[in-house]
Amino acid sequence: MSDYYSEALKAFNELIISAGLKSGDFAVIGCSTSEIAGKRIGTAGTTEIAGEIVKAIKDSFLSQGINIAAQCCEHLNRALVIEKEVADRYGYEQVSAVPYPHAGGSFATEVYRSMNNPVLVEEIIADAGIDIGNTLIGMHIKRVAVPLRLENNVIGFAHINAAKSRPKLIGGERAKYK
């Protein structure tokens, strides 16, 4: 396997542990293969790199029963690729588009190709997420998003940001949380 695969696998497994993800939870993944290759986002996407990231997704998230949503680029309004059965189960409304490398991105295209019955949805509410190359996934993570500092924080040349979610702290100064 490539360095991209092994770097992604380490980062994904670290996110699963750090965020406490379990079977049935949702993780959103944004990925710029251009950034992984050391280029500016949106300028040099490659399905070959995307394929390595998809293999790491299968060996981490999917092998543990964690649902994934692959974020498309801004040309598809950051829509998400998910399995139709998952969209139906959670009541996510489908939209009519199919990602391809120049509208959706190489990563979303490869995820779409790898799924059994893929659909696009406009939004989800994920339990955690990982952003490879500054793709801005925060809009798809449930409140309250808490940044995670991963030790495995690069894939290729792309910087990684990660977040988990926690319930809102409400009640003011008299409230107790534990």
Across-strand partners of 130?
A: 29, 162
Predicted confidence at residue 1, as pLDDT, reads 58
Domain assignment present for 23: yes
Residue 176 lies in a domain: no
**Amino acid 32: pLDDT:** 97
Residue 109 included in any domain: yes
Residue 174: predicted pLDDT: 78
Sites in the chain below the pLDDT cut of 70: 1
22: exposed, middle or buried (Cβ count in 10 Å: 0-12, 13-18, 19+): exposed
Structural domain of 40: 3-166
Q: Is residue 175 part of a domain?
A: no
Compute the distance between CA of residue 75 and CA of residue 92 in angstroms, rounded to an integer. Answer: 20
Domain count, the chain: 1
Decide if 32 is inside a domain.
yes
Residue 178 falls inside a structural domain: no
Concatenating the DSSP letter of every residue in 45-111 gives: --HHHHHHHHHHHHHTTGGGT-EEEEEP-GGGTT-EEEEHHHHHHHTPPEES---BTTBB-HHHHHH
Q: Give pLDDT, residue 175.
A: 79
Here the CATH number for the domain that contains residue 117 is 3.40.50.10360
Helix or strand holding residue 15 (H, E) = helix 3-19
